């Protein structure tokens, strides 16, 4: 009992004449469809929807086409009876023949968890004749929209770990990497039971039972951690426009850590395309102040002769390293004192940081190593020699 592989690839040649009717994905399975109920197709390519309630029921001798980028799952009473992920044509048989299989894993297409999922969720009994057939979309599901109503706060390593706030909108792409987990843990019950809708779609007009809202919340809720991780490598958020795949890895790791998309739902984030990623007004001011302070610190260091010609050729990085700790203290004071006083105290703290850099030349260890030689205090002038006391008058000699 199980499926026998009839041919590999598309339906053609002599099989096209033999297969007068077979099961295949519906024509509506496109774009954002993750799963769809199998539909009988006649040899001329037309769909046969007569008696739609029983249209996808399997019987002995049922034939199935598994196109590239899809996975066939058969189900009875909510339990998975077979999984086919290798493209080609298959015939279902109720006979106990050696070549009949219940699983065609796709030659390593899936992760190692795929086999574990099969062992965990496969049908425990003997499949009957009331099995339902579904197709899972294994292609990228792209163009899923997102947008943030509130700012996203993240720690930017490019600015000494300042907490900055951004707003963002754009699209993201997900992919099914384990169809068994998707079917068991994400697809709404009315679809799994075979009594309701025949399509599970994201971003469509139909109600997805709150699943889409849950995925959207998980994605947006992971952006802050992803942005912090992305900037740790020295990249600016401006680079995300040209490095969306790398940023998508950060998002996927954050989504998995916080919401277990992969281990629970069999989903991965494979791409993110921000259409807008902007600091709010306060964050933009903090970045501008940070950059101005850095430039001022390097200029002061150069003026004091602490950055030589080689340092200047290096783009001022050594001067930046010299001023880094002082700038951080100034910005810490600026961040902690903004508020009711309009930021006056914070700006004063930054001013002190700059002034410290400008006036600390004789108190700071020079770049290049060695202790700063403090100028020796001038020795007090030696007191002038006291004039010799007048000689006492000689006592006249006695006559």
The single residue listed with the structure tokens 């984030």 is 269
Residue 167: per-residue pLDDT: 92
Please give the pLDDT value at position 204. 59
pLDDT of residue 172: 93
pLDDT the model gives residue 374: 44
The helix (run of H) or strand (run of E) holding residue 93 is strand 88-93
**What pLDDT does 306 receive?**
56
pLDDT in tens, 180-216: 999 999 988 888 776 667 889 987 555 555 787 888 8
Distance separating alpha carbons of residues 128 and 102, to the nearest angstrom: 13
Give residue 45's pLDDT.
58
pLDDT in tens, the chain (399 residues): 789 999 888 887 777 778 888 999 998 888 899 999 999 998 765 666 554 555 567 888 899 999 999 999 999 877 889 999 999 999 999 888 888 888 887 765 555 566 778 777 777 766 766 788 999 999 999 999 998 889 999 999 988 889 999 999 999 999 999 999 999 999 888 887 766 678 899 875 555 557 878 888 999 999 999 999 999 877 888 888 776 788 999 999 999 999 999 999 999 999 999 888 889 999 999 999 998 888 887 777 676 665 555 555 554 554 444 445 455 555 555 555 444 444 433 433 444 444 444 444 333 333 334 444 444 445 555 554 444 445 554 544 443
Residue closest to 60 by CA, chosen among 136, 131, 135: 131
Length of the chain equals 399
pLDDT of residue 358: 43
Q: What's the pLDDT score for residue 149?
A: 85
Edge to edge, the sheet with strand 88-93 lists: 2-8, 88-93, 63-66, 21-24, 39-42
d(CA 67, CA 89): 9
* pLDDT in the model for residue 105: 77
User: What pTM was estimated for this model as a whole?
Assistant: 0.72
Residue 350 main-chain phi, psi, to 5 deg: -65, -40
Residue (of 78, 58, 195, 62) closest to 130 by Cα position:
58
Identify the pLDDT of residue 73: 94
Distance CA 166, CA 128 (A): 55
SS3 readout for 351-389: HHHHHHHHHCCCCCCCCCCCCCCCCCCCCCCCCCCCCCC
DSSP states along 14-72: HHHHH-SEEEE--TT--TTEEEEE-EEEETTS-B--TTGGGTTB--TT-EEEE-TTEEE
The pLDDT tens digits of the residues spanning 2-42 come to 899 998 888 877 777 788 889 999 988 888 999 999 999 98
Q: Is the dihedral of CA 161, 165, 166, 172 positive or negative?
A: positive
The helix (run of H) or strand (run of E) holding residue 226 is helix 223-231
Q: Which three-class secondary structure state does DSSP give residue 284?
A: helix
- Nearest to 269, CA basis, from 283, 252, 286, 257: 252
DSSP 307: S
Walk across the sheet containing 70-76 and list its strands.
Answer: 103-104, 79-84, 70-76, 132-137, 33-37, 199-201
């Amino acid at each position: 009992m199980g499926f026998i592989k009839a041919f590999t690839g598309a339906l053609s040649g002599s099989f096209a004449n033999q297969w007068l009717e077979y099961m295949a994905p519906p024509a509506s399975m496109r774009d954002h469809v993750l799963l769809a109920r199998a539909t009988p197709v006649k040899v001329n390519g037309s769909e046969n929807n007569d008696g739609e309630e029983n249209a996808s029921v399997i019987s002995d001798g049922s034939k199935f086409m598994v196109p590239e980028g899809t996975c066939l799952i058969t189900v009875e009473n909510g339990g998975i009876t077979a999984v086919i992920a290798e493209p080609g044509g298959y015939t279902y048989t109720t006979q106990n023949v050696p070549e009949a299989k219940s699983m065609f894993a796709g030659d390593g297409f899936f992760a190692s968890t795929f086999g574990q999922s099969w062992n965990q969720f496969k049908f425990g009994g003997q499949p009957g004749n009331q099995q339902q057939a579904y197709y899972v979309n294994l292609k990228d599901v792209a163009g899923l929209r997102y947008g943030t109503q509130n700012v996203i706060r993240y720690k930017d390593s490019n600015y000494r770990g300042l907490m900055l706030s951004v707003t963002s909108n754009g699209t993201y792409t997900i992919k099914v990497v384990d169809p068994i987990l998707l079917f068991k843990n994400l697809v709404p019950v009315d679809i799994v039971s075979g009594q309701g809708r025949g399509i599970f779609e994201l971003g469509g007009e139909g109600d997805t039972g709150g699943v889409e809202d849950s995925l959207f919340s998980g994605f947006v809720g992971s952006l802050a951690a992803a942005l912090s991780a992305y900037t740790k490598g020295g990249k600016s958020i401006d680079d995300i426009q040209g490095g969306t795949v790398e940023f998508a890895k950060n998002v996927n790791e954050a989504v998995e850590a916080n919401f277990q998309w992969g281990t629970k739902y069999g989903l991965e984030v494979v791409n993110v395309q921000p259409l807008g990623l902007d600091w709010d007004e306060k964050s933009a001011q903090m970045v501008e102040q940070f950059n101005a302070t850095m430039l001022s610190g390097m200029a002061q260091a150069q003026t004091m002769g602490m950055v030589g010609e080689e340092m200047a050729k290096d783009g001022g990085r050594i001067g930046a390293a010299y001023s880094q700790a002082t700038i951080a203290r100034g910005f810490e004071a600026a961040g902690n004192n903004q508020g009711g006083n309009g930021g006056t105290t914070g700006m004063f703290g930054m001013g002190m940081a700059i002034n410290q850099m400008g006036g600390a030349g004789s108190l700071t260890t020079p770049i290049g190593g060695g202790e700063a030689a403090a100028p020796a205090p001038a020795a007090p002038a030696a007191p002038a020699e006291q004039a010799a006391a007048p000689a006492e008058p000689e006592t006249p000699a006695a006559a």
